[in-house]
Chain A
Amino acid sequence: MAISFQNALGIHDSALRIRAQRAEVIAENLANADTPNYKARDLDFQAMLQTAHQHQNRGLDMNVSDSKHVSGGATLFSDDELLYRNPLAPSVDGNTVEAHVEHAKYMENSLAFQSSFTFLNGKFKGLMSAIRGE
C-alpha cells in the first residue's frame, strides 16, 4: 500500500480549505450589510466537499509518462458553487444580508474550521509518531 499525504490526510485538508473560502464569502456579506441591492451569498459546503473529493485526482493533472511518476496538479473550482441566500425578511433597499444570520453562520463556520483543523493536526501527529517510531 502506497503511503501518500493524500491518503493520510483524507478529507480534512479539503474541508479546511473550503471552510476558509466560506469564511471569506460570509465576511463579504457582513461587510456589505449596509450596501443597497447587495445579495447575500453562501456556498454549499457539502456539495463543494464532494466535488473536491471526487476531483482530487482530476482537474489539472500533471503529465505522467512513467508509472513511478507522482500524480499531482491543481484543483479547479468554478463560480457555480456560490449560491444566493433566501432572506427571512426582505428589506426595502434590496439588500438580503441579515446580520444576525450571517454572524451565526460565520461563528459556526469558524468552529467547524477549528474542528477540521484539530482532525488534520491529529493526522499529522499520527504521521510524526509513525516516523519517529515511538
Chain B
Amino acid sequence: MSLNNVFNISGSGMNAQSVRLNTTASNLANAQSASSSIDQVYRGRHPVFAAAQRDAMNIDFDTLDDGLPAASGVQVMGVVESDAPLQRRYEPHHPESDDEGYVYYPNVNVVEEMSNMISASRSFQVNVEVMNSAKQMVQRVLTLGQ
C-alpha cells in the first residue's frame, strides 16, 4: 500500500534535515576556532541533498500498480566544506598567531547558519506533520467496515 511509503519518504526527509541541523551546530560551535595555519583552520560544512532514486528491484509485483514515482525521498549525498575565503585577523597576542601576528578564523557566516537552522527545523516540522497525518489516514483505513 502506497501510504506506507509516506513513512519512508518523510523519514528520509527528517534524516536529511537532522544532518543539516548537525552541520549547522558544528559550524556555529566552531565559528570562533582560530588557527595559525590555513590548512588546519575549520571550514564551514554543508550537506548536499539529492532526490533518492527508487530501487528498481523493489517494485511490488503483487499489485503491479507501483510504477508511480521516479524518486522516493531525499538522500544526503555527502557533506562538503565551504571554499569561501577565510578570515585573516591581526592578533599578535593570540597564542596561535603566526610569525607575522596573524590568526585565521573559519569562513562560517553566523547569520547564514542561523537562517539555515530555522529553515532546517521548519522543514523537519513539515515532515513530522506529513507523517502524522499519514498515520491518521492508515488508522482510519484500519477501522473500515467496523
Residues of A at under 8 Å CB distance from B?
Answer: 16-17, 20-21, 23-28, 30-36, 38, 41, 43, 60, 74-79, 81-82, 99, 103, 106-107, 110, 113-114, 117, 120-121, 124-125, 128
Q: Is the CB of A31 within 8 A of B73?
A: yes
A65 to B3, CA, bound (A): 36
Q: Quick check: A75 and B74 within 8 Å, CB to CB?
A: no
Q: Tell me, in angstroms, the Cα distance from A107 to B133 when the chains sit together.
A: 8
B13 engages A32 (CB within 8 Å): yes
**A31 surroundings in chain B (CB, below 8 A):** 9-10, 12-13, 16, 73-74, 127, 130
Q: Which residues of B contact A27 (CB under 8 A)?
A: 5-6, 9-10, 130, 134
Q: Please give the residue numbers on chain B whose beta carbons come within 8 Å of chain A beta carbons, in ascending order.
A: 1-3, 5-6, 9-10, 12-13, 16-17, 20, 49-51, 63-65, 67-74, 119-120, 122-123, 126-127, 129-130, 133-134, 136-137, 140-141, 143-145
Contact A76 B2, CB 8 Å, known A23-B134, A27-B134, A34-B49: no
Asked whether A128 lies within 8 Å of B145 as measured between CB atoms, the reply is yes
Contact A110 B2 (CB under 8 A): no
Q: Which residue of B lies closest to A41 (CB)?
A: B69
Instruction: List, sorted by A's number, 29 A–B pairs whose CB atoms are closer than 8 Å.
Output: A17-B65, A21-B2, A21-B68, A23-B2, A23-B6, A25-B68, A27-B9, A27-B130, A30-B126, A30-B127, A32-B71, A32-B73, A33-B123, A34-B49, A35-B51, A36-B49, A38-B51, A41-B69, A76-B64, A76-B65, A77-B65, A77-B67, A79-B68, A99-B122, A103-B126, A113-B140, A114-B137, A117-B140, A121-B143
- Residues of B within 8 Å of A43, CB to CB, are 68
In the bound assembly, the distance between CA atoms of A55 and B120 in angstroms comes to: 43
